Amino acid sequence: MQRIAMLGGGFIGRFYADSLHGQRSRDKVVAIYARREETAKKFADDYGCSFLSTNMEEVIAHPDVNMVCIALPNNLHAAAVELCAKHKKNVVCTKPLGRTADEALRMMQLVEEAGIFGGYLEDLCYTPKFLKAMDSVRNGALGRILWAKSRETHPGPHSNWFWDKEQAGGGCMLDLGCHCVEIARNFIGKDVKPVEVMCWAATQVKPIEAEDHAIALVKYENGAIGQFEVSWTFRGGMDLRDEVMGTEGTIWINSFLRTGFEMFTTGKGADYVAEKAESNTGWLFPVGDEVNDLGYNHMFTDMFVSAEEGRPPAETFYDGYIVNAILDAAYKSASTKQWEPVQLPVWRGREGLTQETTLTEYDADHYLIKQEMTHDGRNKLILKEKATGKIIERDLA
Ligand SMILES: NC(=O)c1ccc[n+]([C@@H]2O[C@H](COP(=O)([O-])OP(=O)(O)OC[C@H]3O[C@@H](n4cnc5c(N)ncnc54)[C@H](O)[C@@H]3O)[C@@H](O)[C@H]2O)c1
């Protein structure tokens, strides 16, 4: 059983607690740290915590606590990890791990040197749809993964600190791009090195210093491409979509606005619909079990089973650091308008991969380009002659 200290009693701290105390869970949030007494008090009342404090160290060091869950603004993650290392408390940290790769790397090293458990709470890599998609990718149903695209756009975050570049570390690219980067990395293969990034980012709408839109391409050593699209000004709710393309198949996942649940209401009895839904009248797209569909349940199960079995979870501090490194390169590219290398002072995956051959043998003299049945009943082959390089057509009987 995990006896958890929640650091942060805000939006995600409460989502996490809903997941941790959901169904017949064995795990318990026993202590809460919040900046304000009233936030800590309300959280403790709502979730039955026996200890609350506005002193972070006191909560981490509390003898009842064996797992710390960081749900604080981005600029406080590193300091919280430092305290967990000091008090030798296992820790799981929300996304993004750091504001930069330097910060994330330091956090990873602190955890490893202290010999404590470190889990990266990347919930969107634990949604039921994502887990099923990953099974299909792993068993080869899509062949070699060529392209993985992830999109997260919504009308913007709910607290002031997100909009302040210093506290948040960036704009929508860091906030939402971190999910997208890790989703694509999983599909392409976490042991495949991300090599360079090309990015466009702009502040199109909000009066802020950071970007409120970004699109980027992440090139991997084996030739695969990751792509992300993020926005803090998208209207119409939270759009979470992934597309994966391989040599043998395709997956499209729509995680939020189209979950298979559509509803119309005139507004009578209007209530909460789903995270960042902009309306509760007219045609709506509710989510059946938000805490589960956003991955929190599967995520905490993996984290805590891994901690109890003494093995790393599927998403580690190392993964959080790689994500930060990719995003650092994206920020650099957005300003230089060039492909920028991903700087990875620590890399634990494969090295020296090259793009696999794209040639499919048809016979001794030809490569196959394509076979297609056309509407006039022909069964056509398009072939490339090995000797001449000429591309020819042939009808099969
Ligand atoms: N899907 C996800 O995984 C997801 C979703 C939302 C937020 N997050 C992450 O969770 C973290 C917290 O985000 P949130 O949405 O819960 O924020 P929030 O503003 O709703 O809550 C932050 C909480 O941190 C505490 N806090 C301590 N010091 C603070 C300070 N100086 N300023 C503000 N709050 C302070 C407070 O208790 C506050 O309630 C961020 O790192 C964010 O990126 C993750």
pLDDT tens digits, one per residue of 21-42: 998 889 999 999 999 999 999 9
Q: How many CA atoms within 13 Å lie on the side-chain side of 54?
A: 7
Residue with structure tokens 């001794």? 364
Predicted TM-score of the model (pTM): 0.96
CA–centroid distance, 225 to ligand 1, in Å, is: 31
Q: Are residues 373 and 328 in the same domain?
A: no
| Claim to verify: residue 146 and residue 280 sit in the same structural domain | yes
In a domain, 308, yes or no: no
Q: Are residues 98 and 142 in the same domain?
A: no
Q: How confident is the model at residue 397 (pLDDT cuts 50, 70, 90)?
A: confident
Residues 258 and 133 in one domain: yes
The CA 142 to ligand 1 mean position distance, Å, reads: 37
92, 124, 156 — which closes off a domain? 124
Q: Which atom of ligand 1 is nearest to the CA of 75?
A: 41
Which of 159, 291, 292, 296 has most ligand 1 atoms within 8 Å of CB, for mutation?
159
Mean pLDDT is lowest, of 33-42, 172-181, 352-361, for 352-361
With respect to residue 85, please indicate whether it lies within any of the assigned structural domains: yes
Query: Is 112 part of any domain?
Result: yes
Q: Is residue 61 part of a domain?
A: yes
Question: Residue 63: what are its φ and ψ, rounded to 5°?
Answer: -60, -25
Is the CB–ligand 1 distance for residue 251 below 6 Å?
no
Could you give the CA distance from residue 80 to residue 107 in angstroms, rounded to a whole number?
9
Give per-residue pLDDT as tens, 155-167: 999 999 999 999 9
Q: Is residue 307 included in any domain, yes or no?
A: no
Q: Are residues 111 and 133 in the same domain?
A: no
Is the same domain home to 56 and 174? no
Please report, for residues 160, 203, 331, the alpha-carbon distance to residue 206 in angstroms, rounded to integers and kept in the order given. Answer: 13, 7, 18
For atom 34 of ligand 1, the residue with the nearest CA is: 73
Residues 24 and 134 in one domain: no
HSE on the CB side for 292, CA within 13 Å? Answer: 7
| Pocket of ligand 1 contains residue 98 by CB under 6 Å | no
Query: For residue range 298-348, what is the model confidence (pLDDT) as tens digits?
Result: 999 999 999 999 999 999 999 999 999 999 999 999 999 999 999 999 999
Q: Does 299 reside within a domain? A: no
Q: What is the DSSP string of 238-290?
A: -EEEEEEEESS-EEEEE-SS-SS--EEE-STT----STT---SSEEE---SSH
Name the residue of 52, 72, 159, 182 whose CB sits within 8 Å of the most ligand 1 atoms, as the mutation to test its pocket: 72
Asked if residue 300 is part of any domain, the answer here is: no
Check whether residue 335 and residue 377 sit in a common domain.
no
**Do 30 and 64 fall within a single domain?**
yes
Label residue 373 exposed, middle or buried (CB < 10 Å: 0-12, 13-18, 19+): exposed
Rounded Cα gap, residues 163 and 128, in angstroms: 31
> Looking at the 3D structure of the chain, how many domains does it have?
3
* Res 258 pLDDT > 90: no
How far is CA 264 from each of CA 47, 284, 371, rounded to the nearest angstrom? 33, 6, 46
Q: Strand 239-246 and strand 250-254: pairing?
A: antiparallel
Q: Is residue 352, in this structure, part of any structural domain at all?
A: no
CATH of the domain at 100: 3.40.50.720
**156 CB within 6 A, ligand 1:** no
Same domain, 220 and 335: yes
Q: What is the CATH number of the domain that holds 283?
A: 3.30.360.10
Parent domain of 261? 129-292+317-341
pLDDT for 20: 98
